[in-house]
Chains A and B, each alone.
Chain A
Amino acid sequence: MAEYVFKMKKGEVEIELSSDDAEFVEQQLAKWREEILKKQG
């Protein structure tokens, strides 16, 4: 089963999400992308 890894880094803090639940990782990735773009907008 594939494992999906989603890693973000800001300054010294790095967080890494990994799961074999593709839908969950996709949702989290979409949420982060949406919120970050919202701030930039």
Chain B
Amino acid sequence: MSIYRLRVKCNNAQVEVVAKNGTILAREMDRYLESFLGRKISTQYEPVQQNYYQQQTSYSEPRMEEFSLNQPHMQQEYHEAPNTIGGQIPALNEFIASNKGYDTFSEFIISAYYMKKVLNNEFFTLKMLNSKFYPATGSLVDFYIIEEAKNKGFINTWNDEGTTKYTLNEEGEAYFVNQLRG
């Protein structure tokens, strides 16, 4: 079986995708090609969700902490009823589906809200977010999405001992509530 890897670096951060089918990487590469060129390209792909094998993100120097579902911040319970579905903590794909995401950026804002208000995480890293975002959407949040959110004033970002952390700020929450909430 062939292995396909796509590694994206920006400043000190790095995202790596490993797949058993090239289609998933081709789609991601198309997104970067479009960003590089500043225009859309047209390529048709077959559905690839079933080909998803492994999504792994890591950071280069300074090395980030290893992400684990067992980390305490991922085990916090959520008690605010408006963001639950049937009183249960929804999976991210359910949360996105219950709101009005229409592209990767809007789904990112919904996901950032999910991390903050549903999972009660005071921050997220790109690695943490993509470990949920990719299985839910089939796409990755890349640096262009982060930059767009920063430029629109929707997220705050800071560096904590070599780890870049993000959180949805009040403006981002307002955008979610007013534009994206289902």
User: Within 8 Å of chain A (Cβ to Cβ): is B69?
Assistant: no
Given the known inter-chain contacts A19-B3, A20-B2, A21-B2, please indicate yes or no for A28 contacting B29, CB distance below 8 A: yes
15 additional A-B residue pairs with CB within 8 Å, beyond A16-B6, A24-B4, A32-B33: A10-B36, A12-B10, A13-B32, A13-B143, A14-B8, A14-B9, A15-B7, A16-B8, A16-B9, A17-B29, A18-B4, A19-B3, A19-B25, A20-B3, A27-B26
A17 adjacent to B5 (CB under 8 Å): yes
> Dominant SS at the A interface?
mixed
A15 adjacent to B4 (CB under 8 Å): no
Given the known inter-chain contacts A10-B36, A18-B5, A19-B4, please indicate yes or no for A24 contacting B10, CB distance below 8 A: no
Q: How many residues of A contact B (CB 8 A)?
A: 20
Among B3, B10, B26, B36, point to the contact of A8 (Cβ < 8 A).
B36
A9 CB → nearest B CB, Å: 9
B35: chain A residues within 8 A (beta carbon): 13
Given the known inter-chain contacts A21-B22, A28-B26, A28-B29, please indicate yes or no for A16 contacting B7, CB distance below 8 A: yes
The 7 A-B residue pairs whose C-beta atoms are closest, nearest first, are A21-B2, A24-B22, A16-B7, A14-B9, A19-B4, A18-B5, A15-B8
Which of B37-45, B126-134, B155-163, B164-172 is near enough to bind chain A?
Answer: B37-45
CB-based nearest B residue for A23: B22
CB-based nearest B residue for A19: B4
User: Within 8 Å of chain A (Cβ to Cβ): is B70?
Assistant: no
B121 CB → nearest A CB, Å: 26
Report Cα–Cα, A15/B6, bound state, in Å: 7
CB-based nearest A residue for B143: A13
B22: chain A residues within 8 A (beta carbon): 19, 21, 24
User: Within 8 Å of chain A (Cβ to Cβ): is B151?
Assistant: no
